Amino acid sequence: MSEIIKKQNLSSRVTLELVQGDITEQQVDAVVNAANEKLQHGGGVAAVIAEAGGAVVQRESDAWVEEHGPISHEAPAYTSAGELPSEYIIHAVGPVWGSGDEDRKLRAAVVGSLETANQLELASLALPAISTGIFGFPEDRAARVILTACRDYPDQHPETSLELIRVVVYGDQAAQVFAQAWEQR
């Protein structure tokens, strides 16, 4: 079950929500997967999303990489969502903590996901706390980067098809950290 923790209208058309819950249960047009550049969904959020979506997610991910090569922070891939309640999964590569220039890379992954959703003409998107799990990005810092990128996007892209941007965090600690970052903007 999901709980809306915070909600803000970013423009006359776009709403930002902070939700505590399971990203695989979100009733949105697309969910963002925190992926690696080769789309091998073996751990963390990626494994959870791929398992919930079914074998088609990994098959389509492998086909994407075979056709387009490894994905970058700026240019996510997308596949069908398989058995998830969404239509698409947008696979964003977040930075590994300690790799250098992590804030810029994380922002690029978030903005790239929002731009991919817009290119697909989607109205709603759910993003996880990209890179805060097995990639080791500190949650408080990631929260500031992710929320700022989401808040800035509608102003920088007033033509966006997006009407709902939802940041979905799992667990009480992540919810508390992201709620605190929401208030510190």
Scanning the chain, the segments in alpha helix (DSSP H) are 44-53, 55-68, 102-119, 139-156, 172-183
The pLDDT value recorded for residue 12 is 85
Residue 122 has pLDDT above 80, yes or no: yes
Percentage of the chain beyond pLDDT 70 is: 100
> What is the band of 66 on the pLDDT scale with cuts at 50, 70, 90?
very high
Q: Where are the domains of the chain?
A: 3-183
The pLDDT value recorded for residue 157 is 95
Mean pLDDT of 100-111: 97
> What is the band of 1 on the pLDDT scale with cuts at 50, 70, 90?
confident
The pLDDT value recorded for residue 10 is 93
Rounded Cα distance between 42 and 37, Å, is: 12
The pLDDT value recorded for residue 11 is 85
Integer-rounded Cα Rg, in Å, for the chain is 15
Which residue in this structure is represented by tokens 């079950």?
Answer: 1
Does the pTM surpass 0.85? The reply is yes
> What is the band of 185 on the pLDDT scale with cuts at 50, 70, 90?
confident
Lowest mean pLDDT among 10-14, 91-95, 120-124, 142-146: 10-14
Burial class for 18, CB neighbours closer than 10 Å (0-12, 13-18, 19+): buried
Per-residue burial over 25-60, b if 16 or more Cβ lie within 10 Å, else e, is ebebbbbbbbbbeebebeebbbebbbebbeeebbeb
Chain segment 70-82, per-residue pLDDT in tens: 999 999 999 999 9
The pLDDT value recorded for residue 104 is 97
Percentage of the chain beyond pLDDT 90 is: 94
The pLDDT value recorded for residue 14 is 97
CATH says 3-183 is which class?
alpha beta
- Look up residue 122 and give its two tokens: 């989607």
| Cβ(115)–Cβ(56) below 8 Å | no
